[in-house]
Amino acid sequence: MQPPRERLVVTGRAGWMGMGRGAGRSALGFWPTLAFLLCSFPAATSPCKILKCNSEFWSATSGSHAPASDDTPEFCAALRSYALCTRRTARTCRGDLAYHSAVHGIEDLMSQHNCSKDGPTSQPRLHTLPPAGDSQERSDSPEICHYEKSFHKHSATPNYTHCGLFGDPHLRTFTDRFQTCKVQGAWPLIDNNYLNVQVTNTPVLPGSAATATSKLTIIFKNFQECVDQKVYQAEMDELPAAFVDGSKNGGDKHGANSLKITEKVSGQHVEIQAKYIGTTIVVRQVGRYLTFAVRMPEEVVNAVEDWDSQGLYLCLRGCPLNQQIDFQAFHTNTEGTGARRLAAASPAPTAPETFPYETAVAKCKEKLPVEDLYYQACVFDLLTTGDVNFTLAAYYALEDVKMLHSNKDKLHLYERTRDLPGRAAAGLPLAPQPLLGALILLLALLPVFC
């Protein structure tokens, strides 16, 4: 099952159409949100270079060296360069939604700003690090750009939640539900008023149902005087320590330092601090694939304008029922029998060169001595992929929980969430059955006593 895309396409066209004369360069903030979201729909190995075209145009029309007005010759030159870039990559981008969205958008903007198709083009602007004292280095950010400081003005200490995605893939939601999911293709992890996170999961082996995260896109939305819109994107074998425009924090605004990227281990571990929304994000590459973990205040988690549209927001709602795999049943059935003998009956086919069950258990025990769901996920992944790096993926996922989760009593989970139809879609925790029965009986008797 693939997530719906039609809504994004329609929204994108409407967004382009809304950027008429007088909208100003700030109106351009909408289209990168759409374009970069759509960029994560193709497979990670796609030869389409639309992301490069988007980045070059964004770089040429934003920041301190941007044209003074959208109606200047420099702006039209940047549009012509953008159009030229899309033409050069047209052959490899057939059917790519991001590509077609960009082409239509260029046509709209050139018409709205009376830009001729013939004329000079601009050269891509290389991003340079800001000099000492630049706004990106300021430490005197406005108080509104520090979530905890502004929060204390009107309330007690905020409650923090955690969501993580790792392995084949295993999801821990903001409500501590633990699920193993198929979710092949592009899926939204987070979609609220402040940021979007989308992952692309691809098969680990040809013909296998085992998938893992090969691409990650994070969009930090423009926020008051704190940060400009910023996009972070990671793929297999490419874990950058900067946003797509080359910057390492929030842009040219006074509070730009409230959004920062820090490289912890080159090519393996990146941490993004978004202090203005009290959020910490950890992105890792373990083996060939990516893992994701976030710490976010409940207020930010629930900052959603249209709650009914959040059905595929995985960190909040969990995976759809038809995308869930009961890996604990697989673990129980495989125990003592070896993975190969149960390949036909398992919820995910085993890889050609998987580990024997006993070997998988031993390798997972080395890193995960507590037999919780992270340990069970590790065993499941070794049996379904045969890739020993998935042991480290489970280990680091648990380490990130230890660092990011606010409730130290919930670090280890032991029972996989088994959703009931309807309840998974609503994102509600399961009610204990005896309590639920008592509640129904009380409601039935209420008319007798009242």
pLDDT tens profile 113-136: 888 888 777 654 433 333 333 333
Domain co-membership, 152 together with 300: yes
Query: What does the longest C-alpha to C-alpha distance in the chain come to?
Result: 83
Entry pTM: 0.62
Q: From 289, 319, 349, give the residue that closes a domain.
A: 319
CATH number at residue 294: 3.40.1000.10
Domain co-membership, 87 together with 236: no
Question: 79 lies in a domain?
Answer: yes
Domain co-membership, 106 together with 243: no
**How many domains does the structure of the chain reveal?**
2
Question: 211 lies in a domain?
Answer: yes
Mean pLDDT of the chain: 74
- As a three-state string, the secondary structure of 78-128 is HHHHHHHHHHHCHHHHCCCHHHHHHHHHHHHHHHHCCCCCCCCCCCCCCCC
C-alpha distances in Å from residue 284, one per residue of 15, 199, 266, 345:
33, 13, 10, 33
Nearest to 291 by CA among 319, 263, 271, 266: 271
Give the tokens for residue 195: 């940021």
Question: 326 lies in a domain?
Answer: no
Would you place residue 101 in the very low, low, confident or very high pLDDT band (cuts 50, 70, 90)?
confident
Q: What is the pLDDT of residues 420-439, one digit of tens each?
A: 444 333 343 333 333 333 33
Domain co-membership, 198 together with 254: yes
Q: From 319, 347, 380, give the residue that closes a domain.
A: 319
Contacts with 299 (C-beta within 8 Å, 6 or more apart), sequence order: 151, 158
Domain co-membership, 98 together with 242: no
Mean pLDDT within 267-292? 96
Q: From 293, 319, 345, give the residue that closes a domain.
A: 319
Domain co-membership, 65 together with 159: no
Give the tokens for residue 184: 């092949």
Nearest to 107 by CA among 11, 229, 9, 13: 13
Question: 429 lies in a domain?
Answer: no
Question: 182 lies in a domain?
Answer: yes
Question: 257 lies in a domain?
Answer: yes
Q: Which residue has the higher pLDDT, 386 or 14?
A: 386
Q: What is the pLDDT of residues 30-64, one digit of tens each?
A: 344 434 434 444 434 457 878 778 877 877 776 54
Domain co-membership, 145 together with 198: yes
Determine the structural domain holding residue 65 and report its residue range: 47-111
Domain co-membership, 65 together with 160: no
Question: 40 lies in a domain?
Answer: no
Question: 382 lies in a domain?
Answer: no
